[in-house]
Structure 1
Amino acid sequence: MNLDRRQAMGKIVGFAGAAAVSPAVFAADTCPVDGAIGLGSNGKDLADNLLGYIELDPFAVAKRAYEGYFRGGCMYGVFNAVVKELAAQGHEDACNFAAIPTNITVYGGSGVKGWGSICGCVNAAAMIINILGGVDQFQVISAVNRYYEKTPMPRGDDKFLNYIGAPIMHNDAGELLSADMIGQSVAGSILCHTSVSHWSATSKLGGKHKAKYERCAQVTAEIAFKTVEFLNLALKGELATDPEFEIHAQGNDDCSGCHTGTKREPDTYIGSDVNSYMECQTCHAPHDVTSGLTGMHADATCSTCHN
C-alpha cells in the first residue's frame, strides 16, 4: 500500500488523536510501512530518506530557540526551533517534520544531563542537519562548530535581543540582565564545561547565577540563528565561500605533525593519535616533544584551582 502525503498527514492526525486514549497506537505494527514517517532504520538506507530543507528566517528560528531554552534547555531550544519552523512552512515534508518528537533532545542540556560534554546547542544543530537533504551536511556542521568555538558570544546587539525578546531574567537587585552585565566570551571548544567556564572567568559571575541562564538562552538563540544562516547558504551552494566557514583550525598545525590518525605500531609509535577537528590549544599547552609535557600542572588535581 502506497500513501500520498495527504494520506500520510491523515495517518499522523489519526495517531495523534488516538494517542490521547492509548499510547499503544504507536506500536511498530500499527505504523504504515510504505508511507512511514522517518529516515529509515535499516542501515544502508539512512542516507536515502532525508527530509527536504527550505530556506528559513533565522530571526524567527532564533526567537523560537530562546523561548524553548526556558522550557527544555539548550539542545531542545535549537532542535525544536528548527524542526517546528520547518513544519510550519507547509512544504512537502512539513508533515514529516511535524511528526518529530522534539522533546527527545532535552537530555542534551548542560553537556548531556550535566556532564559538561558537548554543548547541547551544537549537538542539536548536528542532529537536525544530519536528517536534511539538499545540503552538504559536513560543511554545515563544521561551520556551526567552528563558529561556536571561535566567536565571542552571546552577540548582544539590540536588534537581535529585541527580536527574540531578551533579556527576561533579572539580577538579585531586580535589574534586567543587560548585555553589558552578561558580557561575552570565546568558548574555545564545543564542550559545555569549557564554554561556561570561560564565560564565568570573563564575566566574574558564578555558574549558578541567573546571568548564566540568560547567557545560555541567548547563545541557544544565536546558534539556532547561525545554523539556519549556514543552512541557507549551503542550500544555494555558497557556504564554502563564506568567510566565516573554516574547518581547519590554524592553531592545530604544529600538533597534527604527530597527533593525527596513523597506522603506527609499537616500534614506530611517537604520540597519541587524535581524531578531532577541535582547536587543540584550548586545553593542551604546546610542548617540546623532545623534553616532554610542560610541568606547570604536575601533582595538581582539578580541585586545586576549581573548587
Structure 2
Amino acid sequence: MVGKALFAQNASSKTQEVEKVPELPWPYKKLDPVAVAERAYAAFWKGACCYGAFEGIIGELRGKVGYPYTVFPSELFVFGEGGVAGTSNLCGALNGAVAVIFIVTGGLETEIREKAFKIIQELFQFYEQEPLPKYRPENPKYEIKPSIARSSLCHISVSRWCKESGFKAFSPQRKERCGWLTACVAKYAAELLNQNLEGTFNVPHPLPADVQSCRQCHDKGGMLENSRGLMDCNICHFTGKVKHP
C-alpha cells in the first residue's frame, strides 16, 4: 500500500522519517460493539463526546489490528467536545464516530468516498430518528431517559432531551446522558462497520417522507433549488404557527 511519510524534528533540528502511514482506507477487523460502547463511555469521562466515540472504536482497532492505529493520536478529537469547542454545533459523538468510519471505508476517489458517505448518512439518520440513548453502560452514574433528537446538532439534541427528561442542560444527569449517547453512537457505528466488512450493510433508516417531499422543490434539480441537506427540515424551519405551501 502506498504510504506517506510522517516526519519529526530531532534534537539537532534535522528532519528524519520515523514512520509510514498508509493511505485510506485502513484495515478493519470485526469488533465487539458492546466492547466498543463500554470503551467509548469510559473515554467520554476523559475527553468528552467526540474523543469518546473515536477512541471507543479506534482503541479496539488498536488492540485487534495494531499499526497504523497505534500511531494515530485520539486526543486530536477532544476538539469536538460539546458540538466543537462547546459551540453546540455537530454532535461530538457523531463527529468522532464518522471520522473512524471514513478512516476505515473512505478515500479520495469518488466511488470510495460515496460508499463511506452512505454508511455515515445511515448513522446520522439513526441518530435523528431513534429514541436515544438506547445503550445502558454496565456501571452508569444515573438512569437516563431517551429522547428523539430529530437533528444532528448538539444544541437541538440536548434541548429536546432536557424537555423530555426535565433536567437542565448543565446538570450531571445531562452529562451522563451524553456519556450514554456517546457509547450508543459508537456501538452503532461499529455495527455498521461490521456489516460493511461482511457485505451485509443496508439502510434501515431512510430519509423520512416529509424530508423527501421538501427536497423535491428545494434540493438539487428542484423548482427552487435553494437548499441542500439530508436533515429533518421541520425541526428548524417550520412550527405550528407557520403554514407551508
TM superposition score category, shorter chain reference:
0.7 to 0.9
Contact kept in structure 2, 1:109 and 1:120, CA below 8 Å? yes
**One-letter amino acid of the counterpart of residue 207, structure 1:** A
Which residues of structure 1 form unaligned runs of 5+? 4-10, 16-22, 40-48, 169-176, 265-269, 290-307
Shift of 1:111: 0.6
For 2:132 and 2:244, the matched residues in 1 are separated by 33
TM-score norm. by structure 2 comes to 0.85
RMSD: 2.9
Aligned counterpart in structure 2 of residue 36 of structure 1, from 7, 15, 20: 20
For 2:56 and 2:134, the matched residues in 1 are separated by 19
Q: 1:233 is matched with which residue?
A: 195
Q: 2:96 is matched with which residue?
A: 124
Shift of 1:271: 4.4
Contact kept in structure 2, 1:142 and 1:247, CA below 8 Å? no
May I ask how many residue pairs the two structures share in their alignment? 233
Shift of 1:246: 2.8
Q: 1:172 is matched with which residue?
A: none
Change (3 A) 1:279 1:28: farther
Percentage identity across paired residues of the two chains:
29
Shift of 1:54: 1.2
For 1:122 and 1:102, the matched residues in 2 are separated by 15
TM-score norm. by structure 1 comes to 0.69
**One-letter amino acid of the counterpart of residue 253, structure 1:** Q
**One-letter amino acid of the counterpart of residue 74, structure 1:** C
Q: 1:284 is matched with which residue?
A: 237
Which residues of structure 2 form unaligned runs of 5+? 107-111
Shift of 1:206: 0.5
For 1:31 and 1:129, the matched residues in 2 are separated by 28
Q: 1:62 is matched with which residue?
A: 37
Say if 2:48 is the partner of 1:85: no
Q: 2:210 is matched with which residue?
A: 251
For 1:100 and 1:24, the matched residues in 2 are separated by 18
Change (3 A) 1:194 1:36: same
Could you say what secondary structure the match of 1:36 adopts?
A: strand
Contact kept in structure 2, 1:139 and 1:239, CA below 8 Å? no
Q: 1:296 is matched with which residue?
A: none
Structure with greater strand percent: 2
Say if 2:120 is the partner of 1:141: yes
For 2:92 and 2:228, the matched residues in 1 are separated by 21
Change (3 A) 1:272 1:56: same
Shift of 1:216: 0.2
